[in-house]
Chains A and B, each alone.
Chain A
């Protein structure tokens, strides 16, 4: 059984005892808990200024997802709770009436954070399998207020994929006087003070209302020629939905992302600075453009005058899925101190969080230092404490039976007796040590100190980078 994270309080609790979240007045849907290890969660946060088309986009996306089986047979989606069903119904009602959806309500001041997410499973996606979307739709007004945004984003540190929804036409509106850097700074301000690294988080810039932007022809043509644009308008005259290969589609998205990146650098106010900032933070940055309605609504009524086509509305979703796909060829060993003084390793959620993050990047096997037999295999919970009999801090026998393709993250509260045996070996570049405190540091090249409150992602990202190093 894997460690299930509650989508409401973002903590773990005993779901066998009760599905009710102890901190929020909601119950965690049973399928969410039951299928957690099979249908991996995909944590999403929307970031965007007011009126930049965020909610309209989400409305279009949910409509597209309902019809995905027409593109990929066997794909279906299912809302996991009444709240999500009602929200989607409301979105759907607005959309079928031809009017853009309204604003996301501002958070209730009395309500504790984080906000309530939409929860739905999308089943049988090509290449990616089934995913559980946990989507936090944060009102655009929040990003106007530094203090509020800090609370929001801080509450959502679990989220690894951010949809950065930006309407370039609204951004260029002189009355607005906003820049893409300001929006990013608003997000950043929420992460500050959390000791939270941004490495490995996915920032998907979604240029909304793309129909209103003068993009270069290559981008314009790509968005305009979406083979799935008629997915939500099905009648006898609409074109057949063609067969779409997921890998080929992602390759196309990547090509357009590169073009949009270049466009952002050259044409978007402070775009170049924005790209530099994001990439220096170590985030994965990609771009896409969408037109949720395929056209602008009528100026006076705000209603659409024709049936809405949806241009490249699935791209942000497919990016999120593609960027969050586990690389199953990676094998990762998490090795935990099990000596009599190893207690600090198991305090807090360090081990569980590391496992959660690494699970998304490969097959994680846990070992106790000084024990050749695995303490947990992929899919199992990692140990929450050291064994009663203290193990000697020895790693050699584990390394000797470990594939050279594996990368190892070792968490220790003291020195490893035989580590020096491997100083001149290729393990130098395959093994990372996280030390609890400043004592007993060695000169191992990949060694870091953990202090309570630090973001574990700093270590896991470094470990994953070892897969890229040439040995």
Chain B
């Protein structure tokens, strides 16, 4: 099994090379821990304590060691507006962006053909010269991987793949951008029904289309970024 090409973003979370889009993609939907780095690095009136309180009202916070199959989605940041996600992308640096609908689809289509790789991140980062995860990040990734198998069993995912391993299904609905969408922004992915009921799945190919994506917070909407090093 090929070792994944993994780099770390400015928050120390992994991004993985996805050949089909010629870019790195976050291994996980952006987590609350990642966004908290942004909040602490650039405190602002926009992203103040009240803002984060409101976000946590929509999807509460869970510590890595407390993650279970019944709450793991609380580790991901959701309830965020696409404009706010864009600010996080800009803070991450050059080459980081919210994927377009087309990029997301291409990545998903490729990754769902790839097998699950147990301990994928640990193995990739166990190479000489590879960057190191912080203990907290490592714990979060390990815990998510542990509960993921239970979640797959719960929903009868009999043949999970790498896209599932990356929570492109059973994660959050992820913001994607497209000029073809009426409101510019759509959601790709699939939520666990205990988090948010619905029938959206990326396998149908169509994004969810929120009415007012730039103003209305949706508790099950999060995002991940792609990164093209410049």
Contact = CB atoms under 8 A, between A and B. Distances in A.
- The answer on A and B forming one complex is yes
B48 A391 contact: yes
Contact of B66 (A340, A371, A389, A420): A420
A371 B42 CA distance: 8
A454 to B, nearest CB: 27
A400 B12 contact: yes
B91 interface: no
B134 interface: yes
A394 B34 CA distance: 12
A398 interface: yes
Which 5 A-B pairs give the minimum distances between C-beta atoms?
A: A397-B40, A390-B49, A420-B63, A392-B52, A392-B49
B37 A418 contact: no
B41 A393 contact: no
Contacts of A397: 36-37, 39-41
Contacts of A417: 36, 52, 56, 61
B36 A418 contact: yes
B136 A394 contact: no
Contacts of B49: 339-340, 370, 390-393
A396 interface: yes
B40 A370 contact: yes
Interface of B: 12, 33, 36-37, 39-41, 43-45, 48-50, 52-53, 56, 61, 63-66, 134-136, 139
Contacts of B52: 392, 417
Interface string A306-320: 000000000000000
Given A372-B37, A372-B40, 9 more contacts: A370-B39, A372-B41, A392-B49, A393-B49, A397-B36, A397-B41, A420-B63, A423-B65, A425-B135
Give chain B's interface secondary structure class: helix
Interface residues of A, number: 26
A237 interface: no
A439 interface: no
A280 interface: no
A422 interface: yes
A387 B61 CA distance: 25
Contacts of B134: 400
11 contacts: A368-B43, A370-B43, A391-B40, A391-B48, A392-B36, A394-B39, A394-B40, A396-B36, A397-B39, A400-B136, A420-B66
Nearest to A422: B136
Contacts, number: 75
A51 B101 CA distance: 91
Contacts of A418: 33, 36, 61, 63
B65 A389 contact: no
Interface in A423-463: 423-425
A340 B45 CA distance: 12
Contacts of A339: 49
B68 to A, nearest CB: 14
B11 to A, nearest CB: 8
A387 B48 CA distance: 11
Given A417-B61, A424-B65, A396 B48 contact: no
A16 interface: no
Give the most central of A370, A392, A417: most B CB within 10 Å: A392
B37 A423 contact: no
A421 B63 contact: yes
Contacts of B64: 421
A391 B66 contact: no
A394 to B, nearest CB: 5
Interface string A384-418: 00010111111011101000000000000000011
B66 to A, nearest CB: 7
Interface in A342-394: 368, 370-373, 387, 389-394
Contacts of B50: 340, 390
| Centre residue among B40, B134, B139 by max chain A CB count within 10 A | B40
A400 B12 CA distance: 10
A414 to B, nearest CB: 10
Given A390-B49, A400-B12, A400-B134, A421 B40 contact: no
